[in-house]
Amino acid sequence: MAAPKIIILGSLNGQLEPAFNKLATLHAKNNFSLAILTGDVFTSDTDDKTISALLNGSLEVPLPTYFTIGTHSLPERIATKVEAGEEICHNLHFLGKRSITKTSEGLRIVTLGGLLDTKVVGGQSKEQHLPFHTDDDAKGLKGANNADILLTSMWPANVWNGSQVVLGPTHQASIQSSQVIAELCATLKPRYHISASPDAFFYEREPFLHQSSSNTEPASVTRFISMAPYGNEAKAKAMYAFTLNKSDTTVPRGITASPFTPKKKRPRDDDEAGYSRFAPHDNNRRGRQNKRRRESLPPGPDKCYFCLSNPNISAHMCCSIGDESYITTAKGPLPTSTTFADVGLNFPGHFIIIPLPHAPTIPSMGPTSDPTSDAVKAYNEMSRFRESIQAMISAKSSHKLGVVTWEISRDRNVHLIWQLMPIPAEMIHSEIAEAAFRVEAENQKYPSFVTRELTLEEQPTFGDYFRVWLWADNGEDKIKGKSLVMPLSADTRFDLQFGRRVIAKLLGLEKRFIWQDCEQTVEEETADVEAFRDAFKAWEFTLG
């Protein structure tokens, strides 16, 4: 069976005749499988002549069309048919206020119409024609477990979180949203969540990735779309067509983390604390803690704090998500938002570049000689993120800042990451930064650094290593780029804070060496992310 072609319309508000005539014209050209009407199909002002034409068949609905209750009650004659369980007319199907429907095309549509009635303490609403639902209505639909399309009259609360799609304060203030619908969306993980805008504006959020509840559950992506009213004077988009291919598992470009992820993290024991996806790791454990760690299995993707499938993700710290990797700010950043303010940077600039595959090294993701493998694709995109951030920091600071990036590639890792941070460009041009890494390695009695690129093809046979990239651009004719690699034997004890320690000494920030002493509020972290996104716009490649 071919993937169904679907067309969505915004609130008709009683304009049934012009809407269905337009729909007939489009259907003749595109052969849609079905149509979905969002918001209010009818209003209290819908004239009786239109309703009569609909009921007697003189106003034809050109293709199977589905709708639910919006913010207005259904007209009396329509409500009578609905409550009696009768067909309204050919091709027009009332989904009910609270329902789970499977269409002839095999699409699973979960519906919750009306506004949340906060006066009702418990129980489900009874009258299908009244524009209200209860908390229990929403909670009861969670049992559907999944949906291809979730159709709601209200928006899910905070769906705009983590989005770069502008939603003006006036529009945002007009939106009626609820937490229970956000929870319903997070539970069902629909391919599309469709709603209606209260005013003349269209909103399509970037697709967002839900957290998987198990290692075997495939990634689920939702697209949230809110339609402008049909026939609005602002000519905002009120019709939207798409093909829903249920077999398509491609991760869309520009995807973000789910806006519904809880900010509050569950308490973690010391073992799990070492796997925080935003915090530098701490390997200074001794005695019973080390013994317990050796005996326990490393966390899977659902417990790894570098995996988007972890339900405890701090979504507000995600800066940009590509096809193979993503960027976050670091929790407890070494610099502050004022450290580099005098050279044009109004955020800390301490970032983590994380591959999407849950793997300890690049070679463990797949063949490094196959351009289509996860290893090559992840490495290339991570490198592109690194180079883009380097260029942005250099440009924003008028070339006064360079960038240091480091990685620890070991088979014993849980999830590979690259950390990146600005430092004065002169420290790189003068080789002070390079000397600092070499001296600290000598002080710690680690193996000596070697200057080499260590290509992707060489990595599978090279073994464990610590690598640092040093980069600076003077804006004219001098770009300094160097890669230092420290080979590590499998049994070498290595300080996971080595890179941060060196940079802290270089920047005179030794008092900020311990990341736990530098934690920020959620508001501060969010502000840093927004400042970065604003600065990164010219280099952001994931939205193209």
pLDDT score of 462 more than 70? yes
pLDDT score of 216 more than 70? no
Q: How many CB atoms lie within 10 A of CB 524?
A: 14
How much is the average pLDDT of 266-282?
42
Q: What's the confidence (pLDDT) of residue 263?
A: 46
How much is the average pLDDT of 40-69?
95
Whole-angstrom distance, CA of residue 379 vs CA of residue 37: 44
Whole-angstrom distance, CA of residue 347 vs CA of residue 328: 13
- Tell me how far apart the terminal alpha carbons of the chain are, to the nearest angstrom: 32
Long-range contacts of 104-109 (CB under 8 A, 24+ apart): 104/64, 105/1, 105/4, 105/33, 105/34, 106/1, 106/246, 107/4, 107/34, 107/148, 107/149, 107/244, 108/144, 108/146, 108/147, 108/148, 108/149, 109/36, 109/66, 109/147, 109/148, 109/149, 109/150, 109/151
Angle at 208 between CA 173 and CA 407, to 5 degrees: 120
Angle at 158 between CA 153 and CA 164, to 5 degrees: 110
Residue that has been written with the tokens 């159709």 in this structure: 151
Whole-angstrom distance, CA of residue 393 vs CA of residue 145: 45
Whole-angstrom distance, CA of residue 208 vs CA of residue 245: 17
Q: What percent of the chain has pLDDT over 90?
A: 65
Q: Contact 394/475 with Cβ under 8 angstroms?
A: yes
25/44: higher pLDDT: 25
Which one-letter amino acid corresponds to residue 52? S
Q: What's the confidence (pLDDT) of residue 313?
A: 66
- The CATH class, in words, for 5-257 is alpha beta
Q: What's the confidence (pLDDT) of residue 52?
A: 96
| pLDDT range class, residue 9, cuts 50, 70, 90 | very high
Q: What pLDDT, in 10s, does the model give residues 70-114?
A: 999 999 999 999 888 888 999 999 998 998 898 988 899 999 999
From 368, 374, 382, select the one nearest 458 (Cα to Cα): 368
Reading the block at residue 420, the tokens are 């990146």
* Cα-to-chain-centroid distance, residue 358: 17
Q: CATH 3.60.21.10 spans which residues of the chain?
A: 5-257
| pLDDT range class, residue 355, cuts 50, 70, 90 | very high
From 41, 494, 15, 1, select the one nearest 245 (Cα to Cα): 1
303/150: higher pLDDT: 150
Longest CA–CA separation in the chain, Å:
89
From 24, 78, 21, 76, select the one nearest 55 (Cα to Cα): 78
Q: What percent of the chain has pLDDT over 70?
A: 88
272/49: higher pLDDT: 49
Which one-letter amino acid corresponds to residue 110? V
Q: How many CB atoms lie within 10 A of CB 375?
A: 24
Whole-angstrom distance, CA of residue 468 vs CA of residue 407: 7
Q: Please report which helix (H) or strand (E) contains residue 421, including its range.
A: strand 418-424
Q: What pLDDT, in 10s, does the model give residues 375-403?
A: 999 999 999 999 999 999 999 999 999 99
Quick check: helix, strand or coil at residue 522? helix
Q: What's the confidence (pLDDT) of residue 285?
A: 41
Quick check: helix, strand or coil at residue 318? strand
Q: Please report which helix (H) or strand (E) contains residue 149, including its range.
A: strand 149-152
How much is the average pLDDT of 345-364?
93
| pLDDT range class, residue 215, cuts 50, 70, 90 | low
Whole-angstrom distance, CA of residue 440 vs CA of residue 129: 73
Where in 341-391 does DSSP place strands (E)?
351-355
Where in 276-333 does DSSP place strands (E)?
318-321, 325-329
Residue that has been written with the tokens 């339609």 in this structure: 227
pLDDT score of 288 more than 80? no
Give me the half-sphere count of Cα atoms (radius 13 Å) on the Cβ side of residue 343.
18
Quick check: helix, strand or coil at residue 98? strand
pLDDT score of 542 more than 90? no
> Could you tell me how many residues make up the chain?
544
Beta bridge partners of 486: 466
Chain mean pLDDT for the chain = 87
By CB atoms closer than 10 A (0-12, 13-18, 19+), residue 540 is middle
How much is the average pLDDT of 38-43?
96
Using only C-alpha atoms, what is the Rg of the chain?
27
> What are the residue ranges of helices labelled H in 175-226?
179-188
479-488, strands of its sheet edge to edge: 318-321, 325-329, 351-355, 418-424, 401-409, 464-473, 479-488, 450-451
Q: Please report which helix (H) or strand (E) contains residue 208, including its range.
A: strand 208-209
Whole-angstrom distance, CA of residue 394 vs CA of residue 392: 5
Q: What's the confidence (pLDDT) of residue 287?
A: 43
pLDDT score of 295 more than 90? no
How much is the average pLDDT of 31-42?
97
pLDDT score of 537 more than 70? yes
pTM of the model: 0.52
287/491: higher pLDDT: 491
Q: What pLDDT, in 10s, does the model give residues 300-323?
A: 666 677 877 665 667 778 888 888
How much is the average pLDDT of 186-201?
95
Q: What's the confidence (pLDDT) of residue 291?
A: 44
Q: What's the confidence (pLDDT) of residue 170?
A: 87
* Cα-to-chain-centroid distance, residue 6: 25
How much is the average pLDDT of 128-154?
89
Q: What pLDDT, in 10s, does the model give residues 323-342?
A: 888 899 999 999 999 999 99
